[in-house]
Structure 1
Amino acid sequence: MHSSSRRLLAAVAVSTVVAVVGTACSSGSGSSGAKGADSGTFTVWDPYPQFTKDSAWTKLLDDCGGKAGVKIKRTGYDTSDLANKTLLAAQQGNSPDVLVVDNPVVSTLAEAGVLTTTDDNKLDTSKVDPNLLAAGQSDGKTYGTPIGANTLALYYNKSVLKEAGVDIASVKDWPSLTAALEKVKKAGKKGITFSAIGTEEGSFQFLPWFWGADAELTRLDSDQAVSALSLWKGWLDKGYAPNSVLNNTQTTSWQEFAGGDFAFAENGTWQLAGAEKAGFEYGVLPVPAAAGGSAAAPTGGEFVTLPVQDDTDRYTTSQKLATCLTSTQNLYDTDTTLSYVAPTTEVQDKQVAANAALQPWVEAVKKAKGRTSDNLGTQYPKISEQLWKAVQSALSGSKSPKDALTSAQDAAK
C-alpha cells in the first residue's frame, strides 16, 4: 500500500471521531467530483444541506461561477458525512474542485494529502485574522481560508441579574462570576447552564474555561486544567449549575436558558435569532479568564479549500471561485446569513456598523483559538475524547477533577 493510501485510510478513521459543533443538518444527496465534471462545470461540496436551490448561498455560488465563466454543480452534505465522503473521493481521484469544510477537519484532510496549500493555489489570506487562519494551518503550511467564524460567549438575562442585585460590569473573572451566581441562587433563580455532554460538544464548551486557566491540550492533567474542571464541579456542588449539564447538548442548554430563569448560558452566535425571540432582555459577555480579561474560546466555522486534482489546469478557475466566495462583500452577505463573524477586520467593522449587538461576538472571535491550533492536527480528536470523558467523570462524581484529568492524560498519550 502506498504511503498516501495509508494516510487516507487513517484519516477516514480520524474523521469519524471529529464531530460537528453547531446546529444539526440533514444529509445531502450524492454527487460526482471533479473527475465527473466537464471543463465548463466545477463541483462544490459544502456542509450546508439546509440551503436549497433558491437560497442566497446557492445563488452566490452560481454568481461566482458565472463570473469565472463556468457552471457550478453543488452538493450539500451533513458536516460529519462530508469529511468521510471527501476522503473517499480523494482515494478515487474524484475530489470536488472547491470544498467548504468544518475547520477542525482541515488538518485531517491536509495530513492525508487531500488539500492544496495556499502557496500552491495562490489564495490570498493576507487580510484574515491570524488566530482564525491558524485553524487551517499545519506544519507551517496553510490549507485554505475561513469563510467565517462562530464561537462561544456568555448570554445573560438582564432581569434575573437585576433581581439578584448583580451588576454585569462586576463580572470580570472567575471569582466575580461565581459571586454573581451565588447572589442569583439566593434570589431564588438559577445560575448558569452549559453543555458538558460526553461528545465533542462537551469539549467545545469546556475549552474556554480550560484555556482561560492557561491550560494546554498537551497537558490535560496540569494544575491549570484541574482548576478549570474544579470550577465547573464546584458550581454543580453548590447548585449554581444544574446536573442536567451532563446530558445537555448546546441546543437543550439553550432551551433551559430561554425558559427565563437562568442568569447565564454559555452558547454561540448561532443562538442570536433565538435570543431575539426569547421574550426577555439579554446581553452577551465574553467568557472571562480565571484572572480577568477574555478567555480564548474555540472557533467554529468553515474553511474554503481547494482539493488536489489530477488535472491541475482546473486550479486557476477553482482559485477564482474561492476568491469570489471570500471577497469582502460576499463574506459580509454570507456571514450575515450564517450568523458568523467575518474572518477579516474590514468585514467585522461592517457587521458591527449594521448591528451593534455583534460587538461582543467580534471581541470573542478575535480572542478565539482553533481546536487544532498549536500544531495538534489529527491529535486533537483523541485528546478531545479524553477531555470530555474527564469532564463527565468529574461532574458525575465518579472521580475527582485531578484523578479524572490524570486518567485522561495517560489515555491521550
Structure 2
Amino acid sequence: MSPVRRVLVLGAGLALLAACSPAPAPSASDSSGAAAASITELDYYADEQGSAAWQKILDTCSAQTGVKVQRQKVPTDQMLPKILQGASSKSLPNLLFTDNPTLQQIAATGALTPLTDYGISTDGYYPSIVKAGTYQDKVYGLAPGVNGLALVYNKDQLAAAGVEPPKTWDDLKAAAAKLTKAGKYGLAFSAIPSEEGAWQYLPFFWSNGADLSRVDSPEAVQALQYLTDLVNSGSASKSVVSWNQNDVADQFVAGNAAMMINGSWNLARLDEQKSLHYGVVPIPVPHAGGKPVVALGGEVGAIPATGGAGQQAAGKVLSCVLSEPVMVQWSKAHAYVPSKTAVAEKFAASQPEMQAFVNEVDTARSRTAELGEKYPKVSQALADALQAALTGKQPPEQALKTAQQASGS
C-alpha cells in the first residue's frame, strides 16, 4: 500500500469512527469543577506523512472527548532534551508521545504520573509493551502501536539465484554470499554510531543469548563476529557503517542489495515501486527452531504531572488514542503493530505484509527492561563497538571489552 493510500485509508477509517462514536464525552474537570477545554501535546512526528496521520488521530480523539489538543512537534533528536528541560523547569505539556527507550529516563525525573490514575488498563497488551512503559513497578506510558525489524527480501533476485528466504544465520550467510555479485550485495543493514546502529545489532545480540548487563559475553562477541564476517566477506557493503535505515532502503529499492534488515515503517516506500516484488520474514536466528528477539520500537503516550483539569483531560485523550479502533487505524497508516495481542492477530490477517513483524512482537524486548535509564549509555557503547569491529579498528572481542568498560553495565 502506498503512503498516500495508507493516509487515505486512515482518514476514511477515522471519519467513520468519529461518525459512529458516541457523543463527545464531557470535558475533564478538576476538584473545583473548572473544565479543561484544551490540552497541550508534544510529539516528534515531523515528517509530512507521519505528521498528517498523527494529526488525524488527535483530531478524532479531540472530537470524541471534547478536549481541544494544541499540538507541538519537534525533530526526533530534539525531543528528549526538550522534555528533560521541561521537567526541570516544570513546563511540560499535558501529553507526551516519546520514543519508548526514553520513557524510564523521563520517569526517573519524577515528572510523569502513573496511567492507573486515569483508569487506563494494561489488560490485553503484549507483556513487552507494558515493560517498555514501566518504571519502578508503575506503568507511566503505553503505545497504541509498535514497530520492529525484520528481513525484507527481493523475491525476483532470490528466485533467480535459487535462494529461499533464510531462517538461520547459516542460511543468511549462504544466501548473502550467493546473491552478491557485480557490485551488488546480498545484504544491507545499518551500523551507524548511534542508537540506530545499536538497534540493528540487538536482534543478533539478544537472539544469541547475550544480555545488556555484560556486553562482552561470548554470545555477544559471536553475534558481532557474525556481522563482521558478512562485511569482510563482501556479502555486505563496508558502507553499512555510514548508512542509516533510510539509506539501507535506498540501496534495496535501487536493486543494490537483495536483502535488508529494516523496519515496518519503510514498507510504504517499497509499495510505491510497482516493479519491486518483496517479501518479509522474521530476522534469522542462530539455530533452527529458535525465535528472534528484536528490540521493541515505537512511541509511548505519557502524562506529565501538570496538575488540575488539564492532567485529567490528557488522560481522556490518551484513553482514546489507546482504544482499539484508533489503535488499528494508526497501525494501518504508520505500518505499526497494534499493541494488544488479539488486535494484532486480526490486524495481521488483513495486512499480510505485516505478519512477520506481528510474529516477532511476542518475543520482542524492551531496550530498557534490563537497565532502565542506564540503557542510553550502554547503547552508545554498543554502537561504538559495532563501528570499531566493522571498520577493522578492533576485533569484535576487543571492541566489546572496550564497550563493557565504557558502559559500566
TM-score w.r.t. structure 1 length?
0.85
Q: Aligned in 2, Cα 1:385/1:310: closer, same or farther, shift over 3 Å? A: same
CA shift, 1:186, in A, is: 6.7
Task: Tell me what 1:176 maps to.
Answer: 171
- The yes-or-no answer on 1:256 pairing with 2:277 is no
Task: Tell me what 1:19 maps to.
Answer: none
Letter in 2 for 1:223: P
CA shift, 1:54, in A, is: 9.8
Out of 364, 370, 376, the position equivalent to 1:368 is 364
Out of 347, 353, 361, the position equivalent to 2:349 is 353
Higher mean displacement: 391-400 or 40-49:
40-49
Task: Tell me what 2:65 maps to.
Answer: 68
Q: Aligned in 2, Cα 1:186/1:45: closer, same or farther, shift over 3 Å? A: closer
For residues 329 and 211 of structure 2, the distance between their equivalents in structure 1, rounded to whole angstroms, comes to 36
Out of 389, 406, 411, the position equivalent to 2:406 is 411
Task: Tell me what 1:42 maps to.
Answer: 39
What does the per-residue CA deviation read over 1:123-176, in whole Å, with 9 as the maximum and x for residues that have no partner? 2121211112211112222112112111101101112212222122xx221112
- The yes-or-no answer on 1:380 pairing with 2:375 is yes
Higher mean displacement: 122-131 or 41-50:
41-50
Out of 336, 339, 344, the position equivalent to 2:332 is 336
CA shift, 1:364, in A, is: 2.1
Task: In structure 1, list runs of 5 or more residues that go unmatched.
Answer: 1-36
- The yes-or-no answer on 1:149 pairing with 2:146 is yes
Task: Tell me what 1:15 maps to.
Answer: none
For residues 39 and 187 of structure 1, the distance between their equivalents in structure 2, rounded to whole angstroms, comes to 64
CA shift, 1:188, in A, is: 8.1
CA shift, 1:391, in A, is: 0.8
Q: Aligned in 2, Cα 1:382/1:188: closer, same or farther, shift over 3 Å? A: closer
Superposed, 1:14-413 pairs within 5 Å as 39-50=36-47, 55-168=52-165, 171-185=166-180, 189-278=184-273, 279-292=275-288, 293-311=290-308, 313-374=309-370, 376-413=371-408
SS for the counterpart of 2:261 is: strand
For residues 290 and 234 of structure 1, the distance between their equivalents in structure 2, rounded to whole angstroms, comes to 15
RMSD: 2.2
SS for the counterpart of 1:42 is: strand
Letter in 1 for 2:280: V
Higher relative contact order (CA 8 A, sep 6+): 2
Q: Aligned in 2, Cα 1:173/1:241: closer, same or farther, shift over 3 Å? A: same
For residues 187 and 52 of structure 1, the distance between their equivalents in structure 2, rounded to whole angstroms, comes to 36
For residues 55 and 396 of structure 1, the distance between their equivalents in structure 2, rounded to whole angstroms, comes to 39
Q: Aligned in 2, Cα 1:257/1:42: closer, same or farther, shift over 3 Å? A: same
Letter in 1 for 2:178: K
CA shift, 1:185, in A, is: 3.1
What does the per-residue CA deviation read over 1:174-195, in whole Å, with 9 as the maximum and x for residues that have no partner? 1122122232237985211101
CA shift, 1:320, in A, is: 1.3
Contact 1:212–1:288 (Cα < 8 Å) also in 2: no
Residue identity (%): 36
Contact 1:51–1:57 (Cα < 8 Å) also in 2: no
Q: Aligned in 2, Cα 1:186/1:334: closer, same or farther, shift over 3 Å? A: closer
For residues 214 and 226 of structure 1, the distance between their equivalents in structure 2, rounded to whole angstroms, comes to 11
Letter in 1 for 2:134: Q
TM-score w.r.t. structure 2 length?
0.86
For residues 73 and 53 of structure 1, the distance between their equivalents in structure 2, rounded to whole angstroms, comes to 17
For residues 54 and 219 of structure 1, the distance between their equivalents in structure 2, rounded to whole angstroms, comes to 38
Letter in 1 for 2:311: Y
For residues 237 and 157 of structure 1, the distance between their equivalents in structure 2, rounded to whole angstroms, comes to 23
Q: Aligned in 2, Cα 1:164/1:356: closer, same or farther, shift over 3 Å? A: same
SS for the counterpart of 1:385 is: helix
CA shift, 1:325, in A, is: 0.9
For residues 214 and 148 of structure 2, the distance between their equivalents in structure 1, rounded to whole angstroms, comes to 23
Q: Count residues in correspondence.
A: 373
Letter in 2 for 1:271: N
Higher mean displacement: 159-168 or 228-237:
159-168
CA shift, 1:94, in A, is: 2.5
Contact 2:338–2:344 (Cα < 8 Å) also in 1: yes
Q: Aligned in 2, Cα 1:399/1:45: closer, same or farther, shift over 3 Å? A: same
